[in-house]
């Protein structure tokens, strides 16, 4: 079963549109959602949540249409955006009282345990909290009703490495339940390399690829050489190429290249850049 299925989603604004967006997040997995600023990540997530009305296409969460079953579905979803969008005069304890009335499954004990774990003050107003503390509070709020699915839009952006690592550890703990799933939008591709099972790449409102992380990291390689050396590569092995600081960089399928060619292991960021800035032709 898929936790999320997006099929042929279209959404148009003046000057930008999502075009034929299709991908799925299998239950029990973490999907990393990557792309440049303005590529359509947040718009896609807002359409999945029905915060933005799609022009057409189909969005299923837990096999149910989000428009038809929005209220029941949202009881099983936790959401974190790039900031904490709550009244800033409230504190964490007051937010607990509000959330008890919103979610039947709200777990105050779990919520305050997460606040203690993250060292988030229970009585300080939201407006006095640092960005890191706000994001930790946001994640505690998203988790405390025990959702089956987390939708996270840039939750670690601008945070220091220690805070990011704490958040990633909490997400991995959440995934110990094999029925849980995460869609995680992030610019921090190094974070996704640590925890994601799949990666979906969106560029200019279109899905470029949606693939297993292991396929991306272990079946691709980067060759660097002169034009003459590049000409020796099998044509069918070349995915993209681009001019580098020292010769030509080529993204290749490792299995199609003779082991005599020295290949560097790519990062997700490397692969993303090749698909945005690289050329297809030899």
Residue 2, strand partner residues: 26
What's the mean pLDDT when you consider all of the chain?
A: 92
Q: Which whole number is the average pLDDT over 196-220?
A: 95
What integer pLDDT is reported at residue 45 of this predicted model? 96
Average of pLDDT values for 21-34? 97
The two tokens of residue 110 are 């779990």
Using CA atoms, how far apart are residues 233 and 18, in angstroms rounded to an integer? 36
pLDDT of 179 = 95
Is residue 244 over pLDDT 80?
Answer: no
CB 174 within 8 A of CB 145: no
pLDDT of 282 over the 70 cut: no
Give the per-residue pLDDT at 258: 85
Q: Which helix (H) or strand (E) holds 16?
A: strand 16-26
pTM over the 0.75 mark: yes
- For residue 66, what pLDDT band results from cuts at 50, 70 and 90? very high
Predicted confidence band at 172 (pLDDT cuts at 50, 70, 90)? very high
Sequence-distant (6+) residues with CB within 8 A of 60 are: 2, 4, 5, 7, 66
Q: What is the mean pLDDT of residues 63-91?
A: 93
> So what's the pLDDT on residue 40?
94
Does 15 or 152 have the greater pLDDT score? 152
Give me the pLDDT at residue 259, please: 83
Mean pLDDT along residues 106-118: 94
pLDDT score at 58 = 97
66 touches 50 (CB < 8 A) = yes
Please check whether residue 59 is in contact with residue 48, taking contact to mean a CB–CB distance below 8 angstroms: yes
Split at pLDDT 50, 70, 90, the class of 82 is: confident
Instruction: Please report the pLDDT score of residue 163 as a whole number.
Output: 82
Stated length of the chain: 282
What percentage of the chain carries pLDDT values higher than 70?
99
Average pLDDT of the segment spanning 118-144:
93
pLDDT band of 80, cuts 50, 70, 90: very high
> Tell me, what's the pLDDT at 151?
97
- pLDDT level of residue 281 (50, 70, 90 thresholds): low
Give the 3-state DSSP-derived string for 252-280, with helices as H, strands as E and coil as C.
Answer: EEHHHCCCCCCCECCCHHHHHHHHHHCEC
Instruction: Give the Cα separation of 206 and 197 in Å (integer).
Output: 21
Q: How confident is the model at residue 246 (pLDDT cuts 50, 70, 90)?
A: confident
Confidence of residue 144 (pLDDT cuts 50, 70, 90): very high
């Amino acid at each position: 079963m898929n936790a999320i299925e997006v099929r042929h989603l279209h959404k148009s604004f003046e000057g930008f549109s999502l075009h034929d967006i299709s991908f799925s997040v299998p239950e029990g997995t973490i999907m990393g959602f990557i792309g440049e600023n303005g590529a359509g990540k947040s718009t896609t997530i807002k359409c999945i949540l029905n915060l933005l009305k799609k022009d057409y296409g189909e969005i299923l969460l837990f096999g149910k249409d989000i428009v038809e079953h929005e209220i029941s579905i949202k009881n099983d979803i936790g959401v974190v955006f790039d900031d904490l969008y709550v009244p800033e005069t409230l504190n964490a304890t007051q937010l607990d009282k509000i959330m008890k009335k919103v979610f039947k499954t709200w777990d105050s004990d779990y919520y305050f345990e997460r606040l203690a774990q993250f060292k988030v003050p229970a009585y300080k107003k939201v407006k006095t909290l640092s960005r890191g503390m706000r994001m930790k509070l946001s994640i505690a709020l998203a988790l405390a009703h025990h959702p089956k699915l987390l939708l996270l839009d840039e939750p670690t952006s601008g945070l220091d490495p220690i805070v990011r690592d704490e958040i990633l550890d909490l997400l991995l703990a959440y995934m110990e339940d094999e029925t849980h799933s995460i869609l995680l939008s992030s610019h921090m591709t190094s974070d996704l390399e640590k925890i994601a099972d799949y990666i979906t790449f969106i560029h200019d409102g279109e899905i470029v690829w949606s693939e297993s992380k292991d396929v991306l990291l272990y079946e691709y390689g980067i060759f660097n050489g002169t034009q003459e050396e590049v000409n020796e590569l099998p044509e069918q092995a070349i995915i993209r190429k681009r001019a580098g600081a020292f010769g030509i960089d080529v993204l290749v399928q490792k299995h199609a290249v003779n082991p005599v060619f020295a290949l560097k292991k790519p990062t997700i960021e490397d692969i993303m850049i090749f698909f945005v800035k690289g050329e297809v032709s030899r």
